[in-house]
Structure 1
């Protein structure tokens, strides 16, 4: 990978990655969302659940057999080693499923939506270009509070666990500014879509 032109799409929480991905999909790109893959792996009867239960205990599964996300979130924030152990289970499975989905994609090119692309270290070498969706941190906080109903401290804790904005921007080949009106996204997506078509 990449055997075909592949864009790694990333951005901080609340930056608008999903909206931007959907706009590229409307223009003919195939989207492979690693968050959706992770949710599938950790859902009821998900492929990762036996390993998660073996590693962390039955209490990390809810009544449906899915990972109890609230409990796991609390654990990994409290114990950094727990985060490493969870990632050791999930990351190889996510990578394998992502590569399989990208290989099966039928769009003109593939966009891999990877929230922790920069943090993971290995994904940057697996994509043709890195596209960062960017906005000021105060806008991120306001969007996540409005969308998820989290307290500001919780949002800032999640942001603190991600790489700083400037580090993410430094890793970018392309940037979409989503700090303003939603209408401003269209010309930016159109320009990059046309640019990516040149690689096909």
Structure 2
């Protein structure tokens, strides 16, 4: 099952996206609808709300007068916490029931207006954010919902900022233009990413890139890595995760593959985490691996590791699971920090990459490319270790 979080500010047109995904076959769990369901007439939720806020929050027909309740809680933090304490646990319980009932091959889209505000993003395999400019959102709220403009602007201002949503978004859907434009984007997303992601996840297949293709440094790589780090930390119960490799070094050209490493106490622990990482979207690479670039060391066993790769075709990831007490964990960090401190080495490494990549452009993988880099990497790592030993205060 692929878990997709869907969010967006009020008036962004999130319902347009969720409806299209449902047409494609996604199981959509709408938090707003569930929030209404758990406080419908005759429910314990409505009874508790009346007990907390009085009969004045009831409409003449005995249903919840949502406007009256909003007038109480919108500007009163304590009242809002009370309301959330009544509604949120019930919505969470119903969400869990619906997810459990979904078929194993489902793409489950969890539509949550306050996903960012409530820090829920790491719980999903992918987060989609629907966006539109503030003025367009105000126009929609006023014209389509009859909301006073001042109320519309207040509601928008009370939610997460664009910057906060961008930090959370794996996919940013621009819904500022014609409806057909965003629907076409959703169609492409469904066919090109969500469906193959779900299949890879279900079949525990990794998504591996083919021949090496070196591209200019992408300034968004660190933010992408940060989202993945939180996802893995959440899945593993807080195991240390680091962004390493070329995409972690500012200005360095690289393959568009994010390298991360997670620290464990032993390879036995790494093997126990294999299922957890696979469920989080990172199946185990089928072959046992050893770090190929290593200084002389009396015990080659200390260079063994486990590797997981992303099942997401839209974001290639290599996840190296290394024992923290073994040298490879530290050397990955030392090399990264040394490169960050030496722009001339960054330039030299980038030139090497750009020279080598075309030579292996017809390969089905990057093995020979990595082997060709090995002499430079071995010498560079020796320089990095020497630098780290003399700058112990700067290196973790």
TM-score, normalised to structure 1's length? 0.92
CA contact (8 A) 1:44 1:64 kept: no
Residue of structure 1 equivalent to 2:112: 114
Residue of structure 2 equivalent to 1:186: 183
Residue of structure 2 equivalent to 1:14: 11
Q: C-alpha distance in 2, partners of 1:142/1:16? A: 12
CA contact (8 A) 2:17 2:183 kept: no
Cα distance change, pair 47–124 in 1 and its aligned pair in 2 (3 A): farther
Cα deviation, residue 78, structure 1 = 3.0
Cα deviation, residue 199, structure 1 = 2.0
Q: C-alpha distance in 2, partners of 1:11/1:193? A: 18
Cα deviation, residue 76, structure 1 = 1.1
CA contact (8 A) 2:128 2:171 kept: yes
Do structure 1's residue 50 and structure 2's residue 47 form an aligned pair?
yes
Which segment is superposed worse, 80-89 or 51-60?
51-60
Correspondence for 2:91 among 94, 106, 109: 94
Cα deviation, residue 111, structure 1 = 0.4
**Aligned residue runs from structure 1 range 1-200, under 5 A:** 4-106=1-103, 108-121=106-119, 123-194=120-191, 195-200=193-198
Count of residue correspondences: 196
CA contact (8 A) 1:45 1:65 kept: no
Which segment is superposed worse, 177-186 or 55-64?
55-64
TM-score, normalised to structure 2's length? 0.48
Give SS of 1:116's match: coil
Per-residue CA deviation, residues 151-178 of structure 1 (Å, 9 max, x unaligned), is 1101011111111122112211111110
CA contact (8 A) 2:115 2:121 kept: yes
Q: C-alpha distance in 1, partners of 2:183/2:189? A: 10
Q: C-alpha distance in 2, partners of 1:96/1:82? A: 22
Give SS of 1:133's match: strand
Cα deviation, residue 108, structure 1 = 3.1
Per-residue CA deviation, residues 37-89 of structure 1 (Å, 9 max, x unaligned), is 01111222234112112222222222333222111111112312111110111
Q: C-alpha distance in 2, partners of 1:40/1:46? A: 9
Q: C-alpha distance in 2, partners of 1:45/1:119? A: 30
Q: Specify every segment of 5 or more residues in structure 1 that has no aligned partner in the other structure, as ranges.
A: none
Q: Which has the higher contact order (CA 8 A, sep 6+)?
A: 1
Q: C-alpha distance in 2, partners of 1:140/1:180? A: 12
Give SS of 1:53's match: helix
CA contact (8 A) 1:145 1:151 kept: yes
Q: C-alpha distance in 1, partners of 2:110/2:157? A: 23
Cα deviation, residue 125, structure 1 = 2.9
Which segment is superposed worse, 56-65 or 156-165?
56-65
Give SS of 1:198's match: helix
Cα deviation, residue 188, structure 1 = 1.0
Give SS of 2:197's match: coil
The Cα RMSD (Å) is 1.4
User: Which one has a bigger Cα radius of gyration?
Assistant: 2
Cα deviation, residue 187, structure 1 = 2.6
CA contact (8 A) 1:34 1:113 kept: yes
